[in-house]
Amino acid sequence: MEWKNLGARLKTHETSNEHIVNMNAWIDLELRLENNKTIDKSVQERINKEKKHWRNVLVRVIAIVKSLAKNNLAFRGNNKKIYQENNEFFLSLIELIAEFDPIIQEHVRRIQNSEIHNHYLGHRIQNELIQLLASEVENTILKKVKEAKYFSIILDCTPDLSHQEQMSLILRCVDISTSLTRVEESFLGFLKVDDTSGKCLFSELAKEIENLKLDINDIRGQGYDNGSSMKGKHQGVQKRSLELNPRELYTPCGCHNLNLVLCDVANSCVKAVSFFGVLQHIYSFFSSSPKRWTILKNNISTLTMKSLSQTHWESRIDSVKAIRFQTPKIIDVLLELVETSDDPKIMSEAKCLATYELENFEFLLGMTIWFNILFDVNSISKNLQCKNMDIDNAINQLMTFFLILEIIGKMDLFLL
Dist. CA 97–CA 56, nearest whole Å:
13
The predicted structure's pLDDT at residue 20: 83
Residue 192 banded pLDDT, cuts 50, 70, 90 = confident
The whole-number pLDDT of residue 365 equals 83
Average pLDDT of the chain, as a whole number: 81
Measured between alpha carbons, how far is 47 from 64 in angstroms, rounded to an integer?
26
Mean pLDDT of 154-165: 74
In Å, how far are 45, 166, 182, 228, 309 from 162, measured between CA atoms? 53, 11, 38, 24, 22
Residue 102 has a pLDDT of 92
- Overall average pLDDT of the 267-271 stretch: 76
Name which residue leads in pLDDT, 165 or 185.
Answer: 185
Write out pLDDT tens, residues 22-60: 888 888 878 877 777 777 777 777 888 889 999 999 999
What pLDDT is recorded for position 314?
A: 67
Work out whether the CA dihedral 312, 315, 317, 319 comes out positive or negative. Answer: negative
Asked if the model's pLDDT at residue 402 lies above 70, the reply is: no
Number of H helices, E strands in the chain: 18, 5
Average pLDDT over residues 119-125: 86
Between residues 97 and 384, which one has the greater pLDDT?
Answer: 97
What is the bridge-based pairing of β-strands 151-159 and 249-250? unpaired
Contacts of 53 (CB under 8 A, 6+ apart): 103, 106, 107
- Max distance between CA atoms of the chain, in angstroms, equals 128
Give the pLDDT confidence score for residue 56 in this predicted structure. 92
Say if residue 378's pLDDT is above 80.
no
Does pLDDT of 397 surpass 80? no
Tens of pLDDT, residues 160-178: 666 677 888 889 888 887 7
CB 311 within 8 A of CB 259: yes
Question: Three-class SS of residue 129?
Answer: helix
pLDDT of residue 319: 84
Q: How far apart are CA 257 and CA 116, in angstroms?
A: 60
Provide CB contacts within 8 A for 239, sequence distance 6+. 198, 232, 233
Residues 6+ apart with CB under 8 A from 260: 226
Task: Report pLDDT for 407.
Answer: 63
Q: Which helix (H) or strand (E) holds 249?
A: strand 249-250
410: pLDDT strictly greater than 60: no
Cα–Cα dist 230/150, whole Å: 21
Answer whether residue 416 shows pLDDT above 50. no
Q: Of 59-68, 245-254, 338-347, where does the model show the most confidence?
A: 59-68
Q: Are 219 and 151 in contact (CB under 8 A)?
A: yes
Task: Single out the residue of 366, 359, 382, 373 nearest to residue 401, CA to CA.
Answer: 373
N- to C-terminal Cα separation, the chain: 127
Top pLDDT among 415 and 385 is at 385
pTM for the structure as a whole? 0.61
Predicted confidence band of residue 389 (pLDDT cuts 50, 70, 90): low
> 3-state class of 227 per DSSP?
coil
pLDDT of residue 59: 92
Instruction: Provide the pLDDT for residue 100.
Output: 92
Q: When comparing pLDDT for 251 and 356, which is higher? A: 356
H or E, element range at 233: none
The pLDDT, as a whole number, for residue 55 is 93
Q: What percent of the chain clears pLDDT 90, i.e. is strictly above it? A: 6
Indicate if the pLDDT at residue 282 is higher than 80.
yes
Flag whether pLDDT at 105 surpasses 60: yes
Q: What is the pLDDT of residue 414?
A: 46
Q: How many CA atoms lie within 13 A of 277 on its CB side?
A: 9
